[in-house]
Structure 1
Amino acid sequence: MKNQFGNKIKYLRESNNLLQRQVAVLLEIDTPMLSKIERGERRAKKEQVLILAQLYNEEKEILLTLWLADQVYDLVKDEEIASYALKVTEDNLSTNKRNE
């Protein structure tokens, strides 16, 4: 299971010498929930990702990208045509950006 977001926020927390319980309070969740998020067993809410970006002085786009990528991976990981579907999605996103 991919868990780039969880690994990143755990690294940032440890680099800032913070305990899980300290960060959990700021996210308004309990410590076991933060532990599950760091291990990739639960997903953070988008609002929590933004709080973490501010807390760790990390660009929000970086954390949001990892957060979203993990969700997409979980959705398509067992599909044989996942790569093709992602390519179609990428093409659709590019087309929509050009049409805006």
Structure 2
Amino acid sequence: MIGDKIRQLREQENILLRQLAAKLDMDTALLSKMERGDRYFRKEDIVTLAKIFKQPKKELLTLWLADKVLKTIKDEEQKEEALKLALKSLK
């Protein structure tokens, strides 16, 4: 989710992967893996990306967090029940 969004924003702005990686002070290969969902973005990367792309920080952080949750539970048998319980405890 978040990787797709970052790729979309980067392509809309005609920014090359290596250019964005330089702005984030990271290796191009690492950023490529993050866009593909093979590696996780750090929270501070998302805050920086929100500034670079002039996007609402809350929107990108929400996508980032949802992505982390889904990747954590995707292979678990009780994922739906666990999410329901987690949501219930938040209320």
TM-score bucket (shorter structure): over 0.9
Partner of 1:23: 20
Partner of 1:67: 64
2:85 is paired with a residue whose SS is helix
TM-score, L = length of structure 2: 0.96
**In structure 2, how many angstroms separate the alpha carbons of the residues matched to 1:78 and 1:44?**
20
Partner of 2:51: 54
1:1-100 correspondence to structure 2 within 5 Å? 4-94=1-91
Aligned length: 91
TM-score, L = length of structure 1: 0.87
2:66 is paired with a residue whose SS is helix
1:62 offset after TM fit, Å? Answer: 1.1
**In structure 2, how many angstroms separate the alpha carbons of the residues matched to 1:87 and 1:35?**
33
Runs of 4+ in 1 over 6 A off after TM superposition: none
CA RMSD of aligned residues (A): 0.7
Runs of 5+ consecutive residues of structure 1 not aligned to the other structure: 95-100
